[in-house]
Chain A
Amino acid sequence: MFRIILAALLLAFPAQGEETIVADLSQNNVSITATFDGTGILIFGAVKRFQPAPDNGPMQVVIAVAGPSHPVTVRRKEKRFGIWVNIDAVEVDEAPSFYAIASSAPLDQVLSATEDLRYKISVDHLIRSVGAPSTVSDPTHFPEALIRVRQNNGLYTQKGGQVDLMDETLFRTQIKLPSNLVEGDYKTRIFLTRNQLVVDEFVTTLAVRKVGLERWIYNLAHQRPLIYGILSLTIAILAGWLASAIFRVLRLN
């Protein structure tokens, strides 16, 4: 009973400026080069406060890194005439290409369901799916499948207890970015919670960009497609001729 009253009080009087997050990333840019094989980002920070730490429950930290969102078509196979065929398809309007959550304790202990929904922290709150066709009887299975498939690919992760806390002030975690990373701005959000309620939120951006040869090839392919196509063919023909010439020399010797 006391907890409920306390929670209500906290909601009524938000902890304005009592505790604020100061945080940074080990790097603000991730460069995708030809030999890019995934990388780790260190996210660290501290809690700034002008009064002693409040005693309503221990301090907890939730960190969420989200890749750029794109629409996705989720298809389901069914058996028709003895073979497995894609039958139903549901268009998911928005789904992040990458999403990692790290928290100082299991997420359900750190965050209440309402706060999770309000700040859109769990991945299922980020996936927006509205226009499922009426022919699909169970449209909710499709966003679930999307999450499952991406979890299996290592693109969606959720780890409780991965954020290290020190003295109710310092925190840090390591987020692993996989090798199949998509270019874009990765929104990094840090939440400070007490008693399952969000006290402060800190937002920063991690820019993931192709550089060097990768950048050049990508730009050429999209801006000068005909030249790119001809160049690809030229490389192919030259390589074919070169191999033939080398083997002829080898055979003569």
Chain B
Amino acid sequence: MQIYLPIAEVSVNAFLLLGLGGMVGILSGMFGVGGGFLMTPLLFFIGIPPAVAVATEANQIVASSFSGVLAHLKRQTVDLKMGTVLLIGGLFGAAIGVQVFKALKEIGQVELLVTLCYVVFLGVVGGLMFLESLRSIRHAKKSAGKRAPRKAHNWVHGLPFKMKFRTSGLYISAIPPLMVGASVGVLAAIMGVGGGFIMVPAMIYLLGMPTKVVIGTSLFQIIFVTGFTTLMHATTNYTVDMALAVLLLIGGVIGAQIGTRIGVKMKAEQLRILLAILVLAVCGKLALDLLLEPTELFSLGPGGH
């Protein structure tokens, strides 16, 4: 069934959009990522104008993250206190990021810089997670039954303004979560994604949070950052397509519920290695687009200054 999207001004198959939404929703629920880093390129591929794809994707992420976070709240795997601290940093970061984006746009080449950002961050994050998961799986096999050694204290624990994060079982300074939130906020605004794929590893490796809590908390924070982004796009660029968002989110919210349940049944290491492979695959695809000669060297964009 074809459907004409009022803002994007293209006609697409409604079932294709439902399917894409569902697929990305499953991943979103499993890994606690918004799925924007996957969905946005997929929308480009089916012919949605990039500006509309980025803005509408933010709106859809709100829905799937909200659905996901409710499931996590039921199981008490959301650290609301940590989420709020991250969020405060995140909103500051997003505000800075919007300004950086505007500055990049004036120089031109914003498309290239966004793609490079994707390749670098997805590559580094995916690579690190992949190696780490491999190591912990091998370690777990060798010393089956034995407990992993306690985490060593690092510089993070020497900072002031210590707070107790009961759900995460942490007693650390508020500065690192604020900084993580802010830097993810900047990247989220520039790359047009929720930032979960950077947030999740940052929470695990920098803050030392337990993996199960990380996903719910990340989703909690993403709702607010993407909600803010949606409003910004709707009021400045008029590029949020409600019809597209509804179709994507119907698939997305159902997928997120299924994904959350799959995530519970899987071991943390398996979850992490799957996410790492996914991140690396998207990174490889984007890198190839930069490296291989395109069949059409010319591209069209809206004109007028």
Q: Do residues B297 and A77 form an inter-chain contact, with CB atoms below 8 A?
A: yes
Q: Do A72 and B293 form a contact, CB below 8 Å, given A35-B1, A146-B298, A232-B240? A: no
Please name all residues of chain A whose beta carbon is closer than 8 Å to the beta carbon of B305 when the two chains form the complex. Answer: 91
Please name all residues of chain A whose beta carbon is closer than 8 Å to the beta carbon of B152 when the two chains form the complex. Answer: none
User: With an 8 A cutoff between CB atoms, is B225 at the interface?
Assistant: no
User: With an 8 A cutoff between CB atoms, is B47 at the interface?
Assistant: yes
Q: Do residues A84 and B290 form an inter-chain contact, with CB atoms below 8 A?
A: yes
Please name all residues of chain B whose beta carbon is closer than 8 Å to the beta carbon of A149 when the two chains form the complex. Answer: 296, 298-300
Please name all residues of chain A whose beta carbon is closer than 8 Å to the beta carbon of B243 when the two chains form the complex. Answer: 34, 213-214, 217
Please name all residues of chain B whose beta carbon is closer than 8 Å to the beta carbon of A244 when the two chains form the complex. Answer: 66-67, 70-71, 253, 257
Please name all residues of chain B whose beta carbon is closer than 8 Å to the beta carbon of A113 when the two chains form the complex. Answer: none
CA distance A67 to B137 in the complex (A): 60
Q: Do residues A233 and B298 form an inter-chain contact, with CB atoms below 8 A?
A: no
Q: Do residues B62 and A236 form an inter-chain contact, with CB atoms below 8 A?
A: yes
The interface size of chain B toward A, counting residues with CB under 8 Å, comes to: 60
Please name all residues of chain B whose beta carbon is closer than 8 Å to the beta carbon of A73 when the two chains form the complex. Answer: 300-303
Binary B-proximity of A220-253 (CB < 8 A = 1, otherwise 0): 0110011011111101110111111001100000
User: With an 8 A cutoff between CB atoms, is B168 at the interface?
Assistant: no
Q: Do A243 and B297 form a contact, CB below 8 Å, given A233-B59, A236-B62, A236-B249? A: no
User: With an 8 A cutoff between CB atoms, is B291 at the interface?
Assistant: yes
User: With an 8 A cutoff between CB atoms, is A54 at the interface?
Assistant: no
Q: Do residues B303 and A70 form an inter-chain contact, with CB atoms below 8 A?
A: yes
- Out of B10, B235, B293, which one reaches A225, CB within 8 Å? B235
Residues in A85-134 with C-beta less than 8 Å from chain B: 85-86, 89, 91-93
CA distance A33 to B1 in the complex (A): 13
- Out of A146, A152, A228, A236, which one reaches B60, CB within 8 Å? A236
Binary A-proximity of B233-268 (CB < 8 A = 1, otherwise 0): 111001010110110011001101100000000000
CA distance A234 to B68 in the complex (A): 16
Q: Do residues A233 and B62 form an inter-chain contact, with CB atoms below 8 A?
A: yes
- Out of B230, B294, B301, B302, which one reaches A232, CB within 8 Å? B230
Q: Do residues A91 and B303 form an inter-chain contact, with CB atoms below 8 A?
A: yes
CB distance from A30 to the nearest CB of B (A): 12
Q: Do residues A85 and B6 form an inter-chain contact, with CB atoms below 8 A?
A: no
* Residue from A183, A214, A221, A239 with most neighbouring chain B CB atoms (10 Å): A239
Binary A-proximity of B1-22 (CB < 8 A = 1, otherwise 0): 1111011011100000000000
Q: Do residues A239 and B1 form an inter-chain contact, with CB atoms below 8 A?
A: no
User: With an 8 A cutoff between CB atoms, is B231 at the interface?
Assistant: yes
Q: Do residues A236 and B245 form an inter-chain contact, with CB atoms below 8 A?
A: yes
Q: Do A233 and B227 form a contact, CB below 8 Å, given A85-B112, A86-B109, A244-B257? A: yes
CA distance A182 to B11 in the complex (A): 11
Q: Do residues A232 and B234 form an inter-chain contact, with CB atoms below 8 A?
A: yes
- Out of B47, B71, B112, B245, which one reaches A180, CB within 8 Å? B47
CA distance A142 to B9 in the complex (A): 25
User: With an 8 A cutoff between CB atoms, is B304 at the interface?
Assistant: yes
CA distance A112 to B298 in the complex (A): 31
* Residue from B1, B6, B112, B234 with most neighbouring chain A CB atoms (10 Å): B6
Q: Do residues B59 and A232 form an inter-chain contact, with CB atoms below 8 A?
A: yes
The interface size of chain A toward B, counting residues with CB under 8 Å, comes to: 66
- Out of A150, A183, A248, which one reaches B9, CB within 8 Å? A183
Please name all residues of chain B whose beta carbon is closer than 8 Å to the beta carbon of A182 when the two chains form the complex. Answer: 9
Q: Do residues A229 and B240 form an inter-chain contact, with CB atoms below 8 A?
A: yes
User: With an 8 A cutoff between CB atoms, is A75 at the interface?
Assistant: yes
Q: Do residues A236 and B254 form an inter-chain contact, with CB atoms below 8 A?
A: no
Q: Which B residue sits closest to A210, measured CB to CB?
A: B6
* Residue from B108, B227, B298 with most neighbouring chain A CB atoms (10 Å): B298
Residues in B205-238 with C-beta less than 8 Å from chain A: 227, 230-231, 233-235, 238
Q: Do residues B234 and A79 form an inter-chain contact, with CB atoms below 8 A?
A: no
Residues in B266-305 with C-beta less than 8 Å from chain A: 289-294, 296-305
Q: Which B residue sits closest to A215, measured CB to CB?
A: B6
CA distance A78 to B253 in the complex (A): 41
Q: Do A77 and B294 form a contact, CB below 8 Å, given A232-B245, A236-B59? A: yes
Q: Do A145 and B298 form a contact, CB below 8 Å, given A83-B290, A92-B303? A: yes
- Out of B66, B298, B301, which one reaches A236, CB within 8 Å? B66
Q: Do residues A229 and B230 form an inter-chain contact, with CB atoms below 8 A?
A: yes
Please name all residues of chain A whose beta carbon is closer than 8 Å to the beta carbon of B238 when the two chains form the complex. Answer: 221-222, 225
Please name all residues of chain A whose beta carbon is closer than 8 Å to the beta carbon of B77 when the two chains form the complex. Answer: none
CA distance A119 to B174 in the complex (A): 71
Q: Contact residues of A with B, CB < 8 Å?
A: 32-38, 70-79, 82-86, 89, 91-93, 141-142, 145-146, 148-150, 152, 179-183, 210, 213-215, 217-218, 221-222, 225-226, 228-233, 235-237, 239-244, 247-248
Can you give 21 contacting A-B residue pairs, CB < 8 Å? A70-B302, A73-B303, A82-B291, A83-B290, A152-B296, A179-B11, A180-B10, A217-B6, A229-B233, A231-B242, A232-B59, A232-B240, A233-B62, A233-B231, A236-B59, A236-B62, A237-B66, A240-B70, A243-B253, A244-B66, A248-B74
Q: Which 5 A-B pairs have the closest CB atoms?
A: A229-B234, A71-B303, A240-B66, A179-B11, A243-B253
